[in-house]
Amino acid sequence: MSTTAPAPASRRTYVVRTLGCQMNVHDSEHMSGMLEQAGYVRASAADEAASSADVVVINTCAVRENAASKLYGNLGQLASVKNARPGMQIAVGGCLAQKDRAGIVDRAPWVDVVFGTHNLDALPVLLERARHNAEAQVEIAESLQVFPSTLPTRRESVYAGWVSISVGCNNTCTFCIVPHLRGKERDRRPGQVLAEVEALVAQGAVEVTLLGQNVNSYGVEFGDRGAFAKLLRACGTIEGLERVRFTSPHPAAFTDDVIVAMAETPNVMPQLHMPLQSGSDRILRAMRRSYRSEKFLGILDRVRAAIPDAAITTDIIVGFPGETEEDFAETLRVVEASRFASAFTFQYSPRPGTPAAELDGQLPKEVVQERFVRLTALQDRIAAQESAAQLGRTVEVLVTEAAGRKDAASERISGRARDNRLVHVAPAPGTPVGIGADDPRLATDLDARVVRPGDVVEAVVTQSAPYHLVADDLLGIRRTAAGDAWAARERGRYTDDHDHGSAVSSGGAVALGLPTVRRR
């Protein structure tokens, strides 16, 4: 199917709302790129906040808790907006659309388009068809139609980008519906991946994150079980690429050649997100996670032996069906031994369509909540201790946009250290400030004290908290091509007729942040 619909007679505006994981955010970048190629323009920030775009796309999740309620809450809010805006269209895509299909239009008949995870490329055509036919269009493909990375992309950042190395998943975890909704794993060829990375770097990016449901199984489809380690090493040869990250690995498939490649490739960052899910071998078996706690801890030991300063993060599910107090105690034991820098922690809730939803032993909410509180208290303590160990260290921070909620009040800038810890840095005394077109970061003749998103600073850590560091002893500022690209983009915003311009960009993507404790 063509990815381009006929251009609308007037420049219709769009907004894409993303619910869910980093895969969804990257898919949303493709949706935005396709819409812009088809002649749409991104709504202004004010119109986006007011939901007054001509087209609103909701990219859904079926994995996170309350996914359906979040979708229908969004749709309920949009119903009255659409009533007051003749010609407005609403589209629903992503995992929940793949799962619920026409049921979305049955429940919310004001929706114009429903499309799935396998046919992102259909979005512009379906919008045009719905407008022409004056009726909802529902199109769900059963298998991948076009590899998403070949689609136009409007990336949200110029200094860091996601690059998909595979889509889909071959695992059968009983709590997860992803393989059903995204299909079996499909791998891109290494040359295609590296070409995309090189294109990002050429446009100013200094960081990439290699993205897959299970990056460690990359290469199985084309017969090379060592392909992921080779890919990491190949990224190390790309001039101008300063930081390489990846997510997510699977402990069952994590091999020592990847550890060696991480340690021996200077631009692969000392950071690893390794999902634990449970510390109980009995529960891991019920989850169909084909590793056990001692194997997991052994991987962490080998990573830290090769990369002593590595920050390791994880995912944990509390209250899986049948989990006993003894099982939960095993999770606490493994968390204590693992010394995670941070964790995504989830209270188990049944996901329709998954085997775990049908298991006996579903636990009362109050039991799950009580265990969750104990787990997060333990992880908060460990994270605080691990952060405190950073005091006095010199960190290299890639400055990002709006990473700190209190930056304006504290007059600090924020970014990510090499190990992906969030760091707030005090600027040099007397640094000039300004807003809009007068922002000193946009000047072609930069003040030496000014730091732009994409630039790199060195600073000494002076304070610590469980999930961030403060480094108020600034040692130096390094200009980068990423900072130049950010300033050029921002200057362009003040000469364009609309908020972000209409050009389809292939540069940059949303930087992945360090996972933090998620309270549910």
Binding-site residues for [4Fe-4S] cluster: 21, 61, 95, 169, 173, 176
- Give the largest CA-CA distance in the chain: 67
HEC string of 349-413 equals CCCCCCHHHHCCCCCCHHHHHHHHHHHHHHHHHHHHHHHHCCCCCEEEEEECCCCCCCHHHHCCE
The values of phi and psi at residue 254, to 5°, are: -80, 120
Structure tokens at 327: 């099982």
Q: Which of 58, 59, 74 is nearest to 21 (CA)?
A: 59
Annotated binding site: 21, 61, 95, 169, 173, 176
Instruction: Enumerate long-range contacts of 182-185, CB under 8 Å, 24 or more apart.
Output: 182/23, 182/95, 182/98, 182/117, 182/118, 182/213, 183/117, 183/118, 183/143, 183/144, 185/212, 185/213, 185/214, 185/217, 185/220, 185/221
Nearest to 338 by CA among 255, 274, 288: 274
CA dist., res. 55 & res. 290, Å (int): 44
Q: What are the tokens at 461?
A: 């850590």
Q: Is the peptide bond before 505 cis (omega within 30 degrees of 0)?
A: no
Please provide the size of the chain in residues. Answer: 520
CB contact at 8 A, 482 and 454: yes
DSSP secondary-structure letter at 512? P
- Alpha-carbon distance of 334 to 362, in angstroms, equals 23
Alpha helix ranges (H) inside 158-226:
178-182, 190-202
Torsion of CA 348, 378, 23, 115, to 10 degrees: 30
Q: Measure the CA–CA gap between 329 and 350, rounded to whole angstroms.
A: 22
Q: What's the rounded Cα separation, in Å, for the pair 367 and 375?
A: 12
The single-letter code of the amino acid at 132 is: H
Beta bridge partners of 268: 244
Q: Answer for the pair 387, 464: CB distance below 8 angstroms, yes or no.
A: yes
Place of tokens 């007054």: 52
